[in-house]
């Protein structure tokens, strides 16, 4: 079973269809893995009883040859800011610590209808406001890479992970690598083999960031291609459901399941979604791939830059044209995002007032005091700070100088991308992150805004422009930590982007983590 947990989701789906393994067996192994990886704190809620019932239903469909498709019986996980009917949805906050929605987010409903089974709801920064999964009400999520838990794994079955990245001493209680955020719990759930794919949300890079730090594929679709209905909003104009998986093919399978128009979300594209089919052999000759000069910036480590250039050389050697391009307003993206993020946060968080649902303060004598105490106690410092700052930006005397100017800069950032596409560039190749996963103590020595300004530099512009982007793991650093690159494409050009991502994946052959034995799940 340890080998099966490490297999691509597509392969396991074929095994289920052939009757070589039962969905119930996969669910049992996944449930046991949630216990084994508890020290990493990937899950807020493990949906054990639901998982068992859903897997029994899948077993019956398998026996009667009525499987619903390639995802039937496949264990998945969902970030805990997507509504799941009759299951806790907390946003990793005290404010929603007891919130049980009465309906499913559209993306989860579609996965259920395809037969996928839910292992649990994964950890995140409170209300997805972070880039490390360190600000959760339930505690931070730890990265598997470089942790003491890595002793249970080998890489591709060739050597034990004890042989790499263990001389750094990051196996203690306080000094370990972050998983990235805010979808860090989803990333660790997939990385450890607890599930085959997971949903995250991506507002400024919150799917691609943990994918990069954990050595996974992280896909942010075009804004509007996937419904946001049931995703508790952070920044409505940028939020996108994202996908974390071990392979590009698996990310495509999830995208094909959840994409498409939704009457509950007016921002989705209205045209019917055509499932993406990637060719068995990808030909990249003739493709024009841009290298934005602005991504060679302060904070970019030599190792990350070298990895980026090596991938560019691989593409060029295979016949692609690698061309320098400019996105001149990139340097303003983080400041612009900080203003718009906090303005929309201030609006979105206003619904949490202790009146209709969520946390309510115990002691108050007036309605005003109820609001004040509930929001003071229910939100952490990061959320409160963004609410206050956003309301300041939106004051009548500040509105033009902050919100309106930020919207104008956002338009310039989007126009930078449009000009690049109009010049004949098919894709952009950049680093996903400026560095490998930082260790926890170094990371939390910075305030939340500084953390995000560093971690989101390469990923955030794609959200400003609404374009698709994907992070692909490439190799391990000298410390034994994942290094990745990012591809970006014009709106709705996921097929080309995913095909090139698959080509890169096939060429670099990033190592797969495999449990050494079945002792953790037997």
Residues identified as active-site? 79, 182, 206
Using an 8 Å Cβ cutoff, are 256 and 289 in contact? no
Q: Which helix (H) or strand (E) holds 220?
A: strand 217-220
Angle between helices 248-258 and 494-508 (to 10 degrees): 160
148 CA to centre of own chain: 24
The one-digit pLDDT tens for each residue of the chain (522 residues) are 778 989 999 999 999 999 999 999 999 999 999 999 999 999 999 999 999 999 999 999 999 999 999 999 999 999 999 999 999 999 999 999 999 999 999 999 999 999 999 999 999 999 999 999 999 999 999 999 989 899 899 887 554 444 444 333 344 445 799 999 999 999 999 999 999 999 999 999 999 999 999 999 999 999 999 999 999 999 999 999 999 999 999 999 999 999 999 999 999 999 999 999 999 899 999 999 999 999 999 899 999 999 999 999 999 999 999 999 999 999 999 999 999 999 999 999 999 999 988 999 998 889 999 999 999 999 999 999 999 999 999 999 999 999 999 999 999 999 999 999 999 999 999 999 999 999 999 999 999 989 988 899 999 999 999 999 999 999 999 999 999 999 999 999 999 999 999 999 999 999 999 988 788 887
Ordered DSSP codes for 460-474: HHHHHHT--EEEEEE
- Residue 166 has a pLDDT of 36
Dist. CA 326–CA 346, nearest whole Å: 33
Residue 169 belongs to domain with CATH number: 3.90.1300.10
Residue 53 lies in a domain: yes
Q: Which domain holds residue 169?
A: 2-284+433-441+466-515
Residue 177 lies in a domain: yes
Residue 398 lies in a domain: no
- Residue 516 has a pLDDT of 86
What total number of domains does the chain contain? Answer: 1
Alpha helices in 349-399 (DSSP H): 367-378, 381-393
- Residue 449 has a pLDDT of 87
Ordered DSSP codes for 221-273: PPTTTB--TTB--S-TTT-EEEEEESSHHHHHHHHHHHBS--TT-TTS--SPP
Using an 8 Å Cβ cutoff, are 206 and 200 in contact? yes
Ordered DSSP codes for 2-68: HHHHHS-HHHHHHHHHTTSS-HHHHHHHHHHHHHHTGGG--EEEE-HHHHHHHHHHHHHHHHTT---
Dist. CA 76–CA 72, nearest whole Å: 11
Using an 8 Å Cβ cutoff, are 373 and 363 in contact? yes
Dist. CA 182–CA 519, nearest whole Å: 31
Reported residue count of the chain is: 522
Residue labelled with tokens 């969905």: 23
Residue 75 lies in a domain: yes
Dist. CA 5–CA 274, nearest whole Å: 30
- Residue 168 has a pLDDT of 39
Is the Cα dihedral 392, 396, 402, 404 positive or negative? positive
Peptide bond into 397 cis (omega under 30): no
Angle between helices 106-113 and 248-258 (to 10 degrees): 110
Is the Cα dihedral 413, 460, 212, 248 positive or negative? negative
- Residue 174 has a pLDDT of 55
The reported pTM is: 0.96
Residue 133 lies in a domain: yes
Residue 179 lies in a domain: yes
Residue 127 lies in a domain: yes
Dist. CA 214–CA 206, nearest whole Å: 13
Residue 73 lies in a domain: yes
Closest among 122, 138, 246, 132 to 179, alpha carbons compared:
132
Backbone angles phi, psi at 273, to 5 degrees: -80, 130
- Residue 104 has a pLDDT of 98
């Amino acid at each position: 079973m340890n080998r099966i947990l490490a297999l691509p989701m597509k392969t396991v789906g074929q095994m289920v269809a052939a009757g070589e393994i039962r969905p119930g067996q996969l669910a049992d192994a996944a449930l046991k893995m949630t216990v084994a990886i508890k020290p990493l704190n990937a899950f807020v809620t493990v949906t054990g009883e639901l998982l068992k019932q859903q897997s029994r239903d899948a077993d019956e469909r398998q026996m009667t040859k009525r499987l619903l498709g390639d995802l039937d019986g496949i264990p998945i996980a969902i970030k805990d800011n997507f509504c799941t009917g009759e299951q806790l949805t907390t946003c990793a906050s005290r404010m929603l610590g007891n919130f049980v929605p009465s309906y499913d987010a559209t993306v989860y409903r579609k996965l259920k209808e395809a037969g996928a089974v839910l292992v649990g709801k994964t950890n995140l920064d409170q209300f997805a406001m972070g880039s490390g999964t360190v600000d959760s009400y339930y505690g931070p999520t730890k990265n598997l890479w470089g942790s003491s838990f890595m002793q249970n794994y080998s890489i591709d079955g060739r050597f034990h992970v004890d042989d790499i990245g263990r001389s750094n001493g990051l196996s203690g209680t306080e000094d370990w690598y972050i998983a990235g955020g805010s979808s860090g719990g989803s990333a660790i759930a997939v990385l450890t083999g607890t599930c085959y794919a997971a949903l995250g949300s991506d507002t400024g890079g919150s799917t691609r960031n943990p994918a990069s730090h954990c050595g996974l594929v992280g896909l942010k679709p075009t804004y509007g291609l996937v419904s946001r209905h049931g995703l508790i909003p952070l920044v409505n104009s940028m939020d996108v459901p994202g996908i974390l998986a071990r392979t590009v093919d698996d990310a495509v399978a999830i995208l094909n399941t959840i994409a498409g128009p939704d009457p509950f979300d007016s921002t989705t594209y209205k045209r019917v979604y055509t499932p993406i089919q990637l060719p068995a052999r990808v030909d990249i000759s003739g493709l024009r791939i841009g290298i934005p000069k602005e991504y060679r910036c302060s904070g970019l480590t030599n190792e990350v830059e070298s990895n980026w250039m090596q991938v560019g050389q691989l593409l060029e050697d295979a016949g692609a044209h690698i061309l320098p391009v400019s996105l001149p307003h990139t340097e303003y993206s983080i400041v612009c995002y900080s203003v718009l993020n906090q303005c929309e946060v201030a609006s979105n968080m206003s619904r949490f007032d202790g009146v209709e649902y969520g946390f309510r303060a115990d002691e108050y004598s007036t309605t005003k005091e109820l609001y004040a105490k509930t929001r003071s106690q229910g939100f952490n410092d990061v959320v409160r700070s963004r609410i206050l700052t956003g309301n300041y930006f939106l004051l009548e005397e500040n509105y033009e100088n902050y919100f309106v100017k930020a919207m104008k800069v956002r338009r310039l950032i989007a126009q930078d991308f449009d000009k690049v596409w109009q010049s004949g560039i098919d894709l952009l190749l950049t680093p996903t992150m400026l560095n490998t996963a930082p260790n926890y103590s170094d990371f939390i020595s910075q305030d939340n805004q500084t953390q995000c300004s560093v971690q989101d530099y390469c990923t955030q512009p794609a959200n400003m422009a609404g374009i698709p982007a994907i992070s692909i793991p490439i190799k391990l650093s000298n410390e034994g930590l994942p290094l990745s690159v990012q591809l970006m494409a014009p709106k709705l050009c996921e097929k080309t982007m995913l095909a090139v991502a698959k080509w890169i994946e096939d060429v670099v052959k990033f190592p797969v983590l495999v449990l050494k034995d079945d002792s953790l799940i037997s």
